[in-house]
Structure formats: C-alpha cells, structure tokens
C-alpha cells in the first residue's frame, strides 16, 4: 500500500517535533523509502532506541503498510546542545 513521502514526514514530526526529516523515494513506487531523521532528542539513546522511536512515530506502519523504510538516525552535529 503506497504512502506519500509527505505523510511519512508528517507522522515523524508529529511525534518527534524537533526532528529534521529527509525522505528519499528509492524505487519511485511510493513503497520503498529511505529516511534520515536527525533529532536532539536522540542524544544518549542507542541506535536501536533511536530507530524504535521513529518506528513508534509511524505507528506500526513499518513492516506492514510501508514495506521498506531504510532508516538512518542521528543526533545533530553541533556543539550547542546542552544536557
């Protein structure tokens, strides 16, 4: 079931408001995407937890409605983040 990139971005932002989201449609079929999500909220979380946060934002669509989402997560690379 294809899903527009804008909807993926919207869902991620709804749950991780400070996220910087970049989506690429890998196959042009609306079903295979790569997403890069950068958020200060990922600081201190393991990669698994960061990815799980994105999967949670997408509310169970990954692996179902959304067949393939190649995912990359990161914490913004700045010195200004305080803890």
Partner 1 sequence: MTDATKRIDDIVKQNDIVLFMKGTALFPQCGFSSRAIAILDRLGAKYETVDVLQDQEVRAGIKDYSDWPTIPQLYVKGEFVGGSDIMMEMFESGELQQLVGAEA
- # chain residues binding partner 1, by CB under 8 A: 14
- Measured from the CB of residue 35, what is the shortest distance to partner 1 in angstroms? 10
* Residue 3 or 68 having the CB closest to partner 1: 68
Q: Are 9 and 21 in contact (CB under 8 A)?
A: yes
**Residue from 10, 14, 24, 64 in contact with partner 1 (CB under 8 A):** 64
Distance CA 23, CA 32 (A): 10
Q: Is 55 in the site for partner 1 (CB under 8 A)?
A: yes
Distance CA 43, CA 77 (A): 11
Q: For residues 39, 42, 43 and 46, what is the CA-based torsion angle, rounded to 10 degrees?
A: -150
Which residues contact partner 1 by CB under 8 A? Answer: 47-48, 51-52, 55, 60, 62-64, 68-72
């Amino acid at each position: 079931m294809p899903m527009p990139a804008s909807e993926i971005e919207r869902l991620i932002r709804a749950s991780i408001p400070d996220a910087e989201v970049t989506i690429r449609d890998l196959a042009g079929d609306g079903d295979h995407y790569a997403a890069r999500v950068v958020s200060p909220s990922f600081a201190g979380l393991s990669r698994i937890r960061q990815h799980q946060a994105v999967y949670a934002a997408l509310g169970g669509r990954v692996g179902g409605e959304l067949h393939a989402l190649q995912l990359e997560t990161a914490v913004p690379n700045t010195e200004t983040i305080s803890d």
